[in-house]
A and B are shown apart, each in its own frame.
Chain A
Amino acid sequence: MSFVEYSEIIQEGDVVIIFLGHESMMPIKVQSGAQTQTRYGVIRHSSDLIGQRFGSKVTCSKGGWVYVLHPTPELWTVNLPHRTQILYTTDIANITLMLELKPGSVVCESGTGSGSLSHSILRTIAPTGHLHTVEFHAQRAEKAMQEFKEHKVSHLVTVRNQDVCKDGFGITAIADAVFLDIPSPWEAITHAKSAMKRKGGRLCSFSPCIEQVQRTCEALLDHGFEEICTLEVLLRVHDVRTVSLPLPDFGPEEGSADSSQMASDVGQEEVPNTGNTSVICRTATPPREMAGHTGYLTFATKPRD
């Protein structure tokens, strides 16, 4: 198992995602002899996990069952321990496409935060790219590094514990793309520009507030960035359900030919339309509440020097 390579069989030391049903999951680290408690009973790693195929069903002690899944950045995003507010898959997907990330890309990111986006970037740029991520919070930087090791992607990433607004990314002229998720991105634009390749590259800044976007766009313009574009993407999840819509009763149709025919067919004059008082249909409904705003995504191109 690795976050950048699929494998078939669960091994000691792997991170697996336990699927408990209905959007309920938990990540666990597989260790022989270890046990994990779930609401369906205990999972014994040695017998239930090690040597099993990813995607198989595991029966727990109380007779309930769970699925064990291969980790992916998307599963990790919904299961990771939060140290900060994180980016979710919808935004991540757009960031990845609009930054033109692919195998071999060299990317700068700040802050590392909980590493939600980092894992996704690493998946995309492997096996030949590199991520330079900067986190000014020492403990978070340390924790991120540890996670990258556990997830077998540490060879693709350098974590630097410094202030990106003051000290930059620690590299010059080698990045294809820069991503900023910090409170004052406009203060990091100079550093972003100097981190990027001479032939140019792409930049993205994520900000929840429009005032931040405003200042960032001004800074980008001042530094000669082009194709500046701000957008917002929201995900709508549709709940697939069967609904039944009752039919209204208008009473018997007076003097109409088919009403009399129906009455004679059914042979019940008091209750016409029996058994046909509602229509059942499959539909998809929006959830009662949804995330209405995560942040504005501002993209720009650094032109060739």
Chain B
Amino acid sequence: MAECVNDSDAEGRISYGDHVVLKRGDVFKSVQVENKKKVIFEKQWFFLDNAVGQLYGTRFEIEAGGSLKLKITILFSPVTDSKEAGQDNRHIVDDGRSQKLSRDDIETLKEQGLKGQEIVQQLIDNSTTFKDKTEFAQEKYIKKKKKKYESDITILKPSTRLLAMMYHDREPGKICHLRYDTLAQILTLGNIHAGSKIIVFETCAGLVLGSVMERMGGYGSVIQMYPGGGPTRAGMESFGFPSHFHETLHEFPLCKVNALLAGTLDLSEKDETSGVSEEKNSEPQSMEVSVDPQEEMRRAERERLREQRAQEKKVKMEEKRKKLASAAALLEGRNADGLVIASRFHPCPVLMGLLKFVAPSRPFVVYCQYREPLIECYTKLREQGGAISLRLTDSWLRHYQVLPNRTHPVLLMSGGGGYLLSGTTVAADAAKARNQHKSEEPVAKRLKLEKISSSCDSSA
């Protein structure tokens, strides 16, 4: 099978360390492939080792003992040969006895290692009402049983589409209920593309960051602004970007934004905590008076380790300082090409603070799960100026079941996928500060006003 593959599939093979997406039916799970790691997915457990070396997009079956086996794709064989079907359900009575197999019987079949398809066939053969069901009802029955007993796993390369759908289904709380169609709007309205310099502030587990990085393709730079001690990137890591993508990623703590704006950011700043810990360590040492040579040796060893650790810490700190300096340098130009905000924080102060780093004529997009904070942002931006084309939107997503004679919207739809405020920056107006309210008025009106005042002047 391997020989017949010749299109750039070297990168298309699964290897250890890869971040992959497992798919069963419509359910996704993101995992990293590791040696002999047990993975639990959809109430089944297995090891991914056998998948290593196989191509992405391959379908697997789970065998006893949790090993994966390539699924041999036989052409769809009809489960029922007889095309016997009822017209309607007037004679179908729900007496709870239509299935002749008991729960124990089914368990036994499973233990015998019967294939999913064979179990489904057994269920159909032992259903007394199956032949009386309508053709459509039969199809639905088979589909339902297949979903339960046939458990193929497909291993896919991660993408924004898969991860955004996965997060939305599995952990919407972690991504502030950002629905994938809303994420799609963010990326498009933000004009995210290769070569730009984009500022991202998100608390969506790193999903938004990852999707921005995917659209930039490793060209340009992304500055992630983060709250608290450090940036969250689990979602971004799940994309499994090549290492050169990471070189374009910078980070800057939100708590230093004011200092940066005021020009008082001290880059030589020492990390206070490390200084304290060093002092603490040295104190008990000076108290020791033991002369036991073994104790002495142990102490020397401890000291050596301590020094090593201190050295490592120093290197790390130096790295951290360098990273901070490079992010600060990128921000200081105040010429970013875009701003994306999607967080659980109140968006208003974030937007007002970070918009200062964006060049004129660039798009910005703010996501919020709720509408009211964005109304506030809108009002504030209108007052302050510096932005045009403000739009407060949300989108509505409906899925359809498309089947012969059975096409209709699916029964359940998502109630809401959050709200967006988007707009374009413009050059700050010098006259604006003096004359804030006047320039807020529509242009035509202002013209009229100016005319009136000038005619008044001339008449006077």
Contacts and interface: CB of A to CB of B under 8 A. Distances in A.
B430 to A, nearest CB: 10
B371 interface: yes
B161 interface: yes
Contacts of B436: none
Nearest to B5: A198
Nearest to B215: A102
B363 interface: yes
The 8 closest A-B pairs by CB, nearest first: A55-B360, A103-B217, A55-B361, A93-B188, A97-B184, A54-B361, A93-B184, A230-B400
A64 B448 CA distance: 10
Interface string B50-73: 000001111000000000000000
A98 B184 CA distance: 9
B112 interface: no
Interface centre among B164, B362, B400 (most CB of A within 10 A): B400
Given A54-B360, A96-B188, A303-B57, A127 B392 contact: no
Given A55-B426, A127-B194, A236-B394, A214 B404 contact: yes
Interface string B1-34: 0000101010010000000000000000000000
Nearest to B371: A284
Contacts of A5: 195
Contact of A232 (B196, B398, B407): B398
B180 interface: yes
Contacts, number: 194
B384 interface: no
A74 to B, nearest CB: 6
Contacts of B55: 199, 304
24 contacts: A23-B389, A54-B361, A63-B450, A64-B443, A64-B444, A68-B361, A74-B191, A93-B181, A97-B187, A103-B193, A103-B215, A199-B55, A199-B56, A214-B407, A217-B402, A230-B400, A231-B397, A231-B398, A233-B395, A234-B395, A235-B396, A236-B394, A236-B396, A283-B375
A213 interface: yes
Contacts of A238: 371, 392-394, 419
Interface of A: 4-6, 8, 19-23, 39-40, 53-57, 62-65, 67-70, 72-74, 89-90, 92-94, 96-98, 100, 102-104, 120, 123-124, 126-128, 173, 197-200, 210, 213-214, 217-218, 228-238, 240, 282-284, 296, 298, 303-304
Contacts of B446: 64
B183 interface: yes
B219 interface: yes
Given A102-B217, A240-B375, 14 more contacts: A19-B389, A20-B443, A68-B361, A74-B189, A74-B191, A100-B161, A103-B193, A198-B7, A200-B57, A232-B397, A232-B398, A233-B395, A233-B396, A283-B375
Nearest to B454: A63
Contact of A56 (B57, B426, B450): B426
